[in-house]
Structure formats: C-alpha cells, structure tokens
C-alpha cells in the first residue's frame, strides 16, 4: 500500500492537464465568437486548442459530452448583495443579470435558448444557473417586506420577474436599441419601487 486511498496511478504517460484546459477553453472561445452548439465542430475545437482530435476523443465520447462539460464551467457564484438598503441590494442584483463572471457567458447563453426549448437537460442546466440568483433576489424582497420597506401584499415571484425581465431582454435580446444598459438597473429598480400611476 504505497498510495493514499486506492488512487492506483495507471502506468504510462499521464494525460496533459494543459490539453484538458486548452480544449475546454477553445470550446468556450469558439462559442463566444459565434459558433452555435450545433455548428461548432470538433475539428475546429482541436485546431483552436492546438490539439489532435484523438486527444479530444480520448477524453469525451463525443461532441455533446464535451459541450456539456465546457458549459458547466460557465456557472459562476451568484452575486452577494451587500446587505444595505433594499434598494441598493436590488440594484446590485439587477446589475448582475446577464453580466456574468466569465464575459463569454453573455455571448454563449443566448445560444442555449433554442436548445432549452427541446432538451430537458439543457433546461435543467439553465435553471441550475438561474435559480441561485433568483433565490438571492427572493431573500432581499422578503427582507424588504419583513422590515416594512416593501408592501406586504406584493407577489414576490412576479416582482422578481418585473426586476429581472427588463435587464434580461435588453442584455440578451438587445430588445430596444435606445435603452442605456448602464443606467437601466437603477431605473428599473426605482420604477418598480415607485410605480407609474399618478397619485
């Protein structure tokens, strides 16, 4: 028993960690540059990574498995609200929408939209990214209600959609070319807080 646990290291040359990294990075780069999940090719990935195709097929059984693993890398931690006023926390959370840690995510996420519609796994993947962020926002809203800063009769889930939707369609769909993304979070939060009805 020379090794800790049963990590019997197999003989021969160990697999290059550098190749592992390069393959995944190349995949994400290509996706961010405009390839879609269906048009991206293993050959392009290999070429971009400076790696032989065989090296890829030694690690993954096929393109789908590789893409699944690569996309999993994009999942960052949900942002932590500072815990100041409810308004400040909401602005923090809303600003983070579609503004991921990995800048490539902003380009890649829209590519997953069509996929989601038909693949339950892709939808589950999407939800696994979105849910933690929803949870953070939900907590801030509940705190606001608890401390009396927000009304008690609001629908939390609908309110989250009201805060998230505008940012998401603007950042993902470029919905309205005339909107300024930089100031949108603050305007949306204040808009939702105040309402638009005359009084």
Partner DNA sequence: ACGATACGGAACGTATCCGTATCGATATGA
Partner DNA sequence: TCATATCGATACGGATACGTTCCGTATCGT
User: Does residue 8 belong to the site contacting its own copies (CB under 8 A)?
Assistant: no
Sign of CA dihedral 41, 42, 45, 47: negative
- Residue 20's alpha-carbon distances to 4, 60, 131, in angstroms, are 24, 11, 29
Beta carbon of residue 96, minimum distance to its own copies (angstroms, whole number): 15
* Cα(51)–Cα(115) distance, integer angstroms: 28
Site size with its own copies, rule: CB under 8 A: 57
Q: How far apart are CA 111 and CA 180, in angstroms?
A: 23
H helices within 34-119, ranges in order? Answer: 42-49, 53-59, 63-72, 86-96, 104-118
Nearer to DNA, 55 or 107 (CB): 55
Site for its own copies, residues 15 to 34, rule: CB under 8 A: 34
- Considering beta carbons, is residue 22 or 70 the nearer one to its own copies? 70
Residues that bind its own copies (CB under 8 A): 34, 36, 38-39, 107, 110-111, 113-114, 116-118, 123, 126-127, 130, 134, 148-152, 154-155, 157-162, 164-170, 172-179, 184, 187-188, 191-199
Q: Which residues bind DNA (CB under 7 A)?
A: 9-16, 18-19, 22, 39-44, 46, 50-55, 57-58, 62-63
């Amino acid at each position: 028993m020379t090794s800790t646990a049963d990590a019997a290291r197999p003989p021969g040359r160990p697999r290059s960690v550098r190749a592992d990294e390069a393959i995944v990075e190349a995949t994400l780069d290509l996706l961010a540059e405009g390839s879609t999940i269906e048009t991206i090719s293993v050959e392009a990935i290999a070429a971009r990574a400076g790696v032989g195709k065989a090296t890829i097929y030694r690690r993954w059984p096929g393109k789908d498995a590789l893409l699944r693993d690569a996309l999993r890398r994009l999942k960052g931690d949900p942002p932590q609200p500072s815990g100041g006023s409810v308004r400040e926390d909401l602005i923090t959370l809303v600003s983070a929408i579609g503004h991921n840690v990995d800048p490539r995510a902003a380009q890649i996420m829209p590519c997953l939209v069509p996929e989601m519609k038909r693949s339950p796994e892709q939808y589950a993947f999407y939800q696994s990214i979105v849910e933690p962020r929803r949870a953070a926002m939900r907590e801030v809203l509940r705190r606001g209600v608890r401390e009396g800063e927000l009304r008690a009769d609001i629908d939390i889930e609908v309110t989250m959609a009201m805060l998230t939707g505008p940012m998401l369609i603007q950042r993902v769909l470029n919905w309205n070319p005339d909107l300024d993304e930089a100031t949108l979070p603050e305007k949306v939060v204040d808009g939702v807080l105040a309402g638009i009805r005359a009084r």
